[in-house]
Structure 1
Amino acid sequence: MASSAEVRVVATTRVPLLRRPPPHLEQIPLSLFDAWFLPLSPIQRLFLYDDDGGADYPSLVESLKSSLADAIAVFSPLAGKLTYVPSTGDVVVDCSPSAVGDGVEFLEAEADGEARALSSAERYDVPAFLRLIPGLQAPKLPAPVLAVQATRFVGGGGGVAVGVAVHHAVKDGHSFWRFMDAWSAAACGRPSPPAPAFDRSAIVHPMAADVARRILRKMTPELPLLRTTKSVRQPLQHHEAITLELDSHRIADIKNRIVELDEATRASPGTDQSRRRLLPSTFVAVSALVWSSVVLARSQPDEGAGADADARAHLVFFADCRRRLDPPVDAAYFGNCVRGCVAEAAARDLADPRRGVLHARDAIQRAVTEFLERPMEAFDTWLDTVGALIRQPGFVAVSASPRFQAYAAADLGWGAPSRVESVSESAPDGLVVLTGGRKEASVQITACLSPVHMEAFRLQVLDW
């Protein structure tokens, strides 16, 4: 399927909500964590399957709809609508009978070509991927929360794509993959995972409702109109997107090499040799490699970069606050419960081909430590900080997590997908998405970068 290939929608149906939500969940207000994400782009994930498991396509579609209905019966807010309440200034997920009566939009489509051509390409076709995702952007409230598109590839080797779009104000990555796991369980006949919890009062804050309203006024001052945040309105088509996979052996090598560099540093005269560094976590190790590799690629002499010896580089990443709040929030909590963190280091240190990863690791670990000690510090301003950094030429951000088992959670009845991707038309240059990969304990890296930097980045990640 080339960029110019047409995707034809052949049917639009609705997947009904099988069970009415209890009365206390008919109006779920956006929390102070949710409110940040109201004007941002939806979470969009594409699942490519090289074959259909031998099922005829109408039966496959009916199976998808049936299992989706079972999943949203438990995750009822996904069938609701984001709605503005002028009398209070709140935005709620409206799960009242009139709001959920339409169910969830389900598009059936066809495309020329074969899924394998897309799933096997290291550098993916952004326009082609976007056409396999249902549209969910809404200029004003009320707005739907979830849409699904199933696309059959006709001709060639066939295959199926399932595109899922969810409004970011309703859930974060942790919650998204819990929903996908529940959908997979329904499709495969596995026992259902633990039931989700939707009650926003689980987030204890002395002025939770007031803070949420203040953030809404700041982020979406023209409610019920929605304006996509300018800081993320940058076409992905201006960049390239590449997907790499690091297997468990490669990840172990990266961690061990970081420790070896530490030991070499401690052996140098005049250094503190009393403290032995432990192996970094997979997130810290891979993020350090990614960040330093981007900075190194951008500092190549022919790009005219790296001349400023005092330049600072920043990495934005998101941390889950569930276990860090007081009292902690249960892992089953369904919604947003993340905040941004910023690591900072000298660009010239990160651009060191050998030791840049070590400098990156130290900076990321400092930012993690600061978050663990003060998870809610400067909460009202963190998105302003991130927005300012996005507009800087050295911006790098890592989203999602290697803990998200994207492939295992997307078996929708005929096997795990051959490719899972985060797809966006507004991802900035420097955005990197990390998830669990196809193989056990592997990590998938999807990076959005300028074409002139992509190959240097790729070689550094694979060869360091």
Structure 2
Amino acid sequence: MEHHQKTLEIIEVCQVPPPHEKPITSLPLTFFDLLWLRFPPVNRLFFYQTSNSTFHSLVPNLKHSLSLTLQHFFHLAGNITWPLNSPNPFLNYVPGDAVSFTIAKSNSNNFNHLCSNLCEAVQTQPLIPTLNITHEKASVLSLQVTLFPSFGFCIGITTHHAALDGKSSTMFMKAWAYTCSKLIESPKSLSLPENLTPFFDRKVIEDPKGISEIYVKEQLNHGGTNNRSLKVWETKNTKEADAVKGLFELTPSHIQKLKEHAQTKLKNKVKLSTFSVTCAYVLTCLVKTEHIEANSVAFIFSVDCRARLNPPIVATYIGNCVKGQLVHFEVNGLLEDDGFIKTLEGIIEALNRIQEEEVLSGAETWMSRMKSFKDIILLSVGGSPRFEVYSVDFGWGKPKKVDITSIDKTGAFSLSESRNDNKGVEIGLTLNKPKMETFAHHFAHTLESFGRFEKVE
């Protein structure tokens, strides 16, 4: 780690405010937000390849467009706080608040390696910005631009999970990119289109069951009494020093063949989603790789509740509006020849429950159930192809690579659309080198073992 830190030169650490000060504004945290109050931040890295001719204007354009974007997202320049005189924590903006914006320069020529499908996880750590979090106050957004002269640049974004879910943070990045690209093309046209105009009104999240009150009590009683500390939980890094981040792809052809194979084996014929077959395939390969000693494992994935609430809320709502859906598996069943089918059946059943149940069914116990996860082996997934992260173009072309680095510590795998514009799915995960080689083998050959299918490259 120290070696990699030496290759990075911090040029400037500044605070970027909205272009015009806003009045003091407080946003309550809904029960969707309160679930994540002490969860570790989420990190993403966006790598862009550019020519040296763009470097003289790159940082000024990014900084100016960020300020203009914060005119619409000024709440994100604020902080989460939980004063003694407040029964609940809240997101607070006061005039003078700003977003931390770090500009760095890499003295290494490893840009192309960082953008490759296989990279040492430790090499990305210096590119990740940090949030300023104390017991009393927590910033919600931090950004870092790292320049790789002669190669390109990387934008790192770190967000507080209690302020933004994945859809929200991606929408912010798209709004910033849109503003920056328009600033380059036509400085007079800087309003955001409707699909990128944020909606912050928390009143749309109705809470007739008093779920927020239940969650607040649980947060206060966690680790003591009247615990208002905003320090996030430390993630136990289970990854070895030689951990590597691997990116894998399922093309539309592979996905279609997985669906065709599943239809010949499933007892009940259903319309299969790309999400279900992709997760089932990755989990099958991952369980074979990890040599799990426990009898059972659980898989959790997030469900966007915006369109599922009654009444539904707008897609541009900024905040958290996701629930976790849990699936339990017997490990031995996943290791058998039809492990993919058993995994898929479990995911299909969980997806069916989403359609059949009221979306907030059992919400009163969501937080207490999350605390029980430490007692089970939990596999999870982050991101979504629907976020379309490869469309985040600041005016210098689409990303060469997008990396959710926060999964490096959690053991989750990530999903996004393929960077190859082929409507495939890109999968990211972090393992030590021997396990990554084993996973790559299973990923390439499991589909082939189903018969009459080519291997996944």
Q: Bin the TM-score by the shorter chain.
A: 0.7 to 0.9
The answer to whether the aligner puts 1:291 opposite 2:275 as a matched pair is no
The answer to whether the aligner puts 1:350 opposite 2:348 as a matched pair is no
1:65 maps to which residue? 63
**Alignment match of 1:336 (pick from 310, 317, 320):** 320
Letter in 2 for 1:37: W
2:185 maps to which residue? none
1:439 maps to which residue? 420
> Per the alignment, do residues 350 and 191 of structure 1 end up closer, same or farther by CA in structure 2, a change over 3 Å counting?
farther
Letter in 2 for 1:82: I
Encode CA deviations 1:196-227: one digit per residue, 9 max, x unaligned: 11111111111254234224324576654234
Letter in 2 for 1:158: F
The answer to whether the aligner puts 1:176 opposite 2:169 as a matched pair is yes
Q: In structure 1, how many angstroms separate the alpha carbons of the residues matched to 2:139 and 2:45?
A: 19
Letter in 1 for 2:152: G
Does the residue aligned with 1:334 lie in a helix, a strand or coil? coil
Moved more, 209-218 or 159-168: 209-218
Letter in 2 for 1:61: V
Moved more, 343-352 or 236-245: 236-245
Q: In structure 2, how many angstroms separate the alpha carbons of the residues matched to 1:191 and 1:289?
A: 42
1:406 maps to which residue? 389
Q: How many angstroms does 1:27 deviate by?
A: 0.5
1:271 maps to which residue? none
Encode CA deviations 1:321-368: one digit per residue, 9 max, x unaligned: 11222222221110001121111122122112x422211111011112
Letter in 1 for 2:404: S
The answer to whether the aligner puts 1:217 opposite 2:216 as a matched pair is no
Does the residue aligned with 2:81 lie in a helix, a strand or coil? strand
1:313 maps to which residue? 297
Q: How many angstroms does 1:438 deviate by?
A: 0.7
**Alignment match of 2:104 (pick from 84, 101, 109):** 109
2:203 maps to which residue? 201
Letter in 2 for 1:214: K
With the length of structure 1 as denominator, give the TM-score of the two structures. 0.85
In structure 2, the gaps of 5 or more residues are: 183-189, 448-457
1:270-285 alignment, distance < 5 Å: 275-278=268-271, 280-285=272-277
> Per the alignment, do residues 236 and 54 of structure 1 end up closer, same or farther by CA in structure 2, a change over 3 Å counting?
farther
Q: Is residue 406–residue 437 contact of structure 1 (8 Å, CA) maintained in 2?
A: no
1:270 maps to which residue? none
Letter in 1 for 2:156: G
> Per the alignment, do residues 46 and 213 of structure 1 end up closer, same or farther by CA in structure 2, a change over 3 Å counting?
same
Letter in 2 for 1:439: N
Letter in 1 for 2:202: R
Q: How many angstroms does 1:407 deviate by?
A: 1.0
Moved more, 170-179 or 84-93: 84-93
TM-align CA RMSD:
2.5
Moved more, 338-347 or 44-53: 44-53
Encode CA deviations 1:380-417: one digit per residue, 9 max, x unaligned: 4334434544554x431112212111110x21121111
> Per the alignment, do residues 62 and 223 of structure 1 end up closer, same or farther by CA in structure 2, a change over 3 Å counting?
farther
Q: How many angstroms does 1:186 deviate by?
A: 0.6
Q: In structure 1, how many angstroms separate the alpha carbons of the residues matched to 2:88 and 2:121?
A: 36
1:364 maps to which residue? 347
Q: In structure 2, how many angstroms separate the alpha carbons of the residues matched to 1:312 and 1:423?
A: 27
1:17 maps to which residue? 18
Q: In structure 2, how many angstroms separate the alpha carbons of the residues matched to 1:425 and 1:364?
A: 21
Q: In structure 2, how many angstroms separate the alpha carbons of the residues matched to 1:425 and 1:370?
A: 27
1:140 maps to which residue? 135
Q: In structure 2, how many angstroms separate the alpha carbons of the residues matched to 1:442 and 1:384?
A: 37
Q: May I ask how many residue pairs the two structures share in their alignment?
A: 431
Q: In structure 2, how many angstroms separate the alpha carbons of the residues matched to 1:419 and 1:439?
A: 10
With the length of structure 2 as denominator, give the TM-score of the two structures. 0.87
2:76 maps to which residue? 78
Q: In structure 1, how many angstroms separate the alpha carbons of the residues matched to 2:167 and 2:380?
A: 18
2:40 maps to which residue? 41
Q: Is residue 296–residue 351 contact of structure 1 (8 Å, CA) maintained in 2?
A: yes
Does the residue aligned with 1:37 lie in a helix, a strand or coil? coil
Q: Is residue 414–residue 429 contact of structure 2 (8 Å, CA) maintained in 1?
A: yes
Q: Is residue 113–residue 119 contact of structure 2 (8 Å, CA) maintained in 1?
A: yes
Encode CA deviations 1:90-142: one digit per residue, 9 max, x unaligned: 11111232xxx142111111112235333343232222211011111513222
> Per the alignment, do residues 200 and 439 of structure 1 end up closer, same or farther by CA in structure 2, a change over 3 Å counting?
same
Q: In structure 1, how many angstroms separate the alpha carbons of the residues matched to 2:89 and 2:249?
A: 39
Q: Is residue 81–residue 144 contact of structure 1 (8 Å, CA) maintained in 2?
A: yes
Q: In structure 2, how many angstroms separate the alpha carbons of the residues matched to 1:286 and 1:150?
A: 32
Does the residue aligned with 1:403 lie in a helix, a strand or coil? helix
Letter in 2 for 1:287: C
Q: How many angstroms does 1:178 deviate by?
A: 1.0
2:237 maps to which residue? 234
Q: In structure 1, how many angstroms separate the alpha carbons of the residues matched to 2:46 and 2:37?
A: 25
1:243 maps to which residue? 247
> Per the alignment, do residues 208 and 378 of structure 1 end up closer, same or farther by CA in structure 2, a change over 3 Å counting?
closer
Q: Is residue 407–residue 429 contact of structure 2 (8 Å, CA) maintained in 1?
A: no
Moved more, 197-206 or 443-452: 443-452
Q: How many angstroms does 1:426 deviate by?
A: 6.6
Q: In structure 1, how many angstroms separate the alpha carbons of the residues matched to 2:328 and 2:34?
A: 27
Q: In structure 2, how many angstroms separate the alpha carbons of the residues matched to 1:197 and 1:160?
A: 30
Q: Is residue 48–residue 115 contact of structure 1 (8 Å, CA) maintained in 2?
A: no
Q: How many angstroms does 1:163 deviate by?
A: 0.8
